[in-house]
């Protein structure tokens, strides 16, 4: 248990924007999928095969709190000074399930989430899960989630059964999000089978490194495939300080232009804008898992103060003292309120 700490009041609400949950039935379903060896995904079987049964305090904490959208979670939010959590179905969500089952399970998870939001409308908001393995059904569920359930965006847990969403068969999902004017949170999953082996050999496949490689790759694939030329208003949220991509914005622009000019790749054609333009105009960023002032300030400086949001990554990374440390960042009052509150309110259309 974490000891209660006194959280100093702040001149802003603290909204955490990448907070995971999981209906208990989904963990049961994962167990059966893993025992039956029906999911041909190295990362899923390795990670959830471990988390479902491991006995360490961290694993028990994660298992015990993913399924709670009630008093225990609210108490942890209170202890950390979090006023509001934007909740999303934990990775990989329904994306490992057969299409039909994934579609119906996403609907159940969204109903479950909407019930919790209805019980605590001032503390919780939620993102809609969907099963992009049936992209047309996914688009319908996104519309239901936003228009009927009041959910505030879409959660995509990176690759869809080893495929990346730059494939046009997935684009109904982007079309729906753009039309509904809601963001897609492109959250990590374990890397695809083609990527994961040398990482897994050294324990680097997960949140320490592999998640960012996988998700940063996914984001770049969307950009260079022209997803944002086709859907110019689409907004995608990246966690973990943009999965480290902003640090090399300069080189992404230089080498993208150089590669296009060289004509080496038929799969990499010219784009309407620079890579960094998409990253500044079509992406939003959270600091999930990176409670580190220099990285946050770097994003604010390079991307913009109005596109960087606070996230904790509960229950995977619950350290209440991180929150108060970030209260002390040496940035102006307007930028700090934008980080903790205003950007999340605008992006997820949360009532003030
Ligand atoms: C972990 C981290 C697992 C994150 C997650 O989903 C996850 C972890 C299963 O620490 O193993 O979403 N995260 O977002 O950093
Ligand atoms: Mn997360």
Q: How many CB atoms lie within 10 A of CB 46?
A: 16
What's the 187 CA to ligand 1 centre distance in angstroms? 9
Q: How far apart are CA 226 and CA 68, in angstroms?
A: 39
DSSP state of 226: T
Which two tokens mark 40? 């041909």
Continuous segment of H or E residues that includes residue 186: strand 184-187
DSSP state of 273: S
Cis, bond preceding 65 (omega within 30 deg of 0): no
Q: Which of 134, 166, 205, 313 is catalytic?
A: 313
What ligand has the least distance to the C-alpha of 185?
A: 2
Residue 4 has pLDDT above 80, yes or no: no
Q: Whose CA is nearest to atom 11 of ligand 1?
A: 207
Q: What is the pLDDT of residues 314-325, one digit of tens each?
A: 999 999 999 999
Which two tokens mark 152? 């505030």
Residue 8 pLDDT class (50, 70, 90 cuts): confident
CATH code of 201's domain: 3.20.20.140
Q: Which domain holds residue 111?
A: 17-347
Which pLDDT does position 352 carry in this prediction?
80
The answer to whether residue 321 is domain-embedded is: yes
The answer to whether residue 176 is domain-embedded is: yes
Collapsing DSSP states into helix, strand and coil, what is residue 286? Answer: strand
The answer to whether residue 27 is domain-embedded is: yes
What's the 317 CA to ligand 1 centre distance in angstroms? 8
Q: What is the pLDDT of residues 95-110, one digit of tens each?
A: 999 999 999 999 999 9
The DSSP string of 104-156 is HHHHHHHHHHHHHHHH-TTTEEE-B---GGGHHHHHHHHHIIIIIT---SEEE
What's the 138 CA to ligand 2 centre distance in angstroms? 21
Which two tokens mark 161? 């059964």
Q: Whose CA is nearest to atom 8 of ligand 1?
A: 207
Q: What is the pLDDT of residues 59-78, one digit of tens each?
A: 999 999 999 999 999 999 99
Residue 345 neighbours by CB under 8 Å, 6+ apart: 15, 352
For a ligand 1 pocket test, name from 91, 185, 209, 212 the mutation site with the most ligand atoms within 8 angstroms of its C-beta: 91
Residue 293 has pLDDT above 80, yes or no: yes
Buried b (16+ CB within 10 A) or exposed e, 227-253: bbeebeebbbbbbbbbbbbbeebeebe
Residue 280 has pLDDT above 80, yes or no: yes
The answer to whether residue 3 is domain-embedded is: no
10 Å CB burial of residue 128 (0-12, 13-18, 19+) is: buried
| CA 320 to the chain's CA centroid | 20
Q: Whose CA is nearest to atom 15 of ligand 1?
A: 207
Q: Whose CA is nearest to atom 5 of ligand 1?
A: 91
Which two tokens mark 323? 């929150």
Q: Whose CA is nearest to atom 12 of ligand 1?
A: 91
Q: Is 115 an active-site residue?
A: no
Which pLDDT does position 51 carry in this prediction?
98
Atom of ligand 1 at shortest distance to CA of 206?
A: 11
Angle between helices 99-119 and 135-143 (to 10 degrees): 10
Atom of ligand 1 at shortest distance to CA of 157?
A: 12
Q: What is the pLDDT of residues 124-170, one digit of tens each?
A: 999 999 999 999 999 999 999 999 999 999 999 999 999 999 999 99
Q: What is the pLDDT of residues 192-214, one digit of tens each?
A: 999 999 999 999 999 999 999 99
Q: Whose CA is nearest to atom 6 of ligand 1?
A: 91
Average pLDDT over residues 12-39: 97
What ligand has the least distance to the C-alpha of 211?
A: 1
Residue 5 has pLDDT above 70, yes or no: no
Q: How far apart are CA 241 and CA 285, in angstroms?
A: 6
DSSP state of 191: P
Lowest mean pLDDT among 4-8, 27-31, 302-306: 4-8
End-to-end CA distance of the chain: 32
Continuous segment of H or E residues that includes residue 238: strand 236-238
For a ligand 1 pocket test, name from 188, 200, 239 the mutation site with the most ligand atoms within 8 angstroms of its C-beta: 188
Which pLDDT does position 7 carry in this prediction?
85
Beta bridge partners of 156: 186
Buried b (16+ CB within 10 A) or exposed e, 197-219: eebbeeeebbbeebbbbbbbbbb
Residue 188 neighbours by CB under 8 Å, 6+ apart: 91, 157, 158, 207, 211, 212, 214, 215, 239, 240, 243
What's the 316 CA to ligand 2 centre distance in angstroms? 7
What's the 316 CA to ligand 1 centre distance in angstroms? 6
Residue 191 pLDDT class (50, 70, 90 cuts): very high
Residue 83 pLDDT class (50, 70, 90 cuts): very high
Q: How many CB atoms lie within 10 A of CB 57?
A: 8
The answer to whether residue 254 is domain-embedded is: yes
What's the 20 CA to ligand 2 centre distance in angstroms? 6
Q: How many CB atoms lie within 10 A of CB 169?
A: 14
Residue 294 has pLDDT above 60, yes or no: yes
The answer to whether residue 115 is domain-embedded is: yes
State the total domains in the chain: 1
Q: For a pLDDT cut of 70, what percent of the chain falls above it?
A: 98
Which two tokens mark 320? 């209440």
Q: How many CB atoms lie within 10 A of CB 285?
A: 27
The DSSP string of 82-114 is --EEEEEEPTTTTTTS-HHHHHHHHHHHHHHHH
Ligand 1 environment, Cβ below 6 A = 20, 90-91, 188, 206-207, 289, 313, 316
Q: For a pLDDT cut of 90, what percent of the chain falls above it?
A: 97
Which two tokens mark 192? 């695809």
Residue 2 has pLDDT above 50, yes or no: no
Residue 6 pLDDT class (50, 70, 90 cuts): low
The answer to whether residue 280 is domain-embedded is: yes
Residue 1 has pLDDT above 50, yes or no: no
């Amino acid at each position: 248990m974490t000891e209660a700490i006194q959280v100093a009041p702040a001149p802003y609400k603290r909204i955490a924007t990448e907070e995971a949950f999981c209906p208990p039935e989904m963990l049961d379903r994962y167990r059966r999928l893993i025992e039956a060896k029906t999911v041909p995904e190295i990362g899923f079987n390795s990670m959830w095969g471990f988390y479902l049964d491991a006995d360490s305090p961290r694993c028990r904490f994660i298992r015990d709190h993913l399924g709670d959208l009630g008093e225990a979670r609210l108490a942890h939010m209170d202890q950390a000074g979090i006023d509001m959590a934007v909740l999303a179905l934990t990775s990989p969500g329904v994306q490992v399930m057969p299409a039909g089952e994934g579609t119906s399970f996403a609907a159940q998870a969204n109903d479950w989430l909407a019930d919790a939001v209805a019980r605590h409308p001032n503390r919780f908001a939620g993102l809609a899960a969907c099963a992009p393995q049936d992209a047309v059904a996914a688009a319908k569920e996104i519309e239901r989630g936003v228009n009927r359930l009041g959910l505030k965006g879409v959660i995509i847990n990176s690759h869809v059964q080893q495929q990346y969403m730059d494939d046009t068969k997935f684009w109904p999902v982007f079309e729906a999000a753009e039309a509904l004017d809601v963001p897609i949170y492109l959250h990590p999953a374990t890397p695809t089978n083609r990527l994961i082996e040398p990482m897994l050999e050294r324990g680097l496949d997960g949140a320490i490194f592999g998640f960012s490689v996988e998700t940063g790759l996914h984001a770049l694939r969307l950009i260079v495939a022209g997803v944002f030329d086709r859907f110019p208003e689409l907004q995608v949220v990246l966690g973990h300080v943009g999965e480290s991509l902003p640090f090399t914005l300069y080189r992404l622009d230089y080498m993208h232009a150089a590669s296009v000019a060289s004509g080496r790749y038929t799969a990499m054609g010219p784009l309407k804008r620079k890579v960094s333009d998409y990253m500044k105009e079509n992406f939003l960023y959270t600091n999930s898992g990176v409670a580190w002032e220099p990285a946050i300030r770097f994003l604010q400086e390079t991307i913009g103060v109005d596109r960087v949001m606070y996230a904790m990554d509960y229950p995977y990374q619950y350290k209440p003292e991180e929150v108060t440390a970030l209260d002390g960042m040496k940035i102006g009052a307007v930028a700090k309120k934008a980080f903790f509150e205003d950007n999340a309110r605008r992006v997820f259309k949360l009532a003030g």
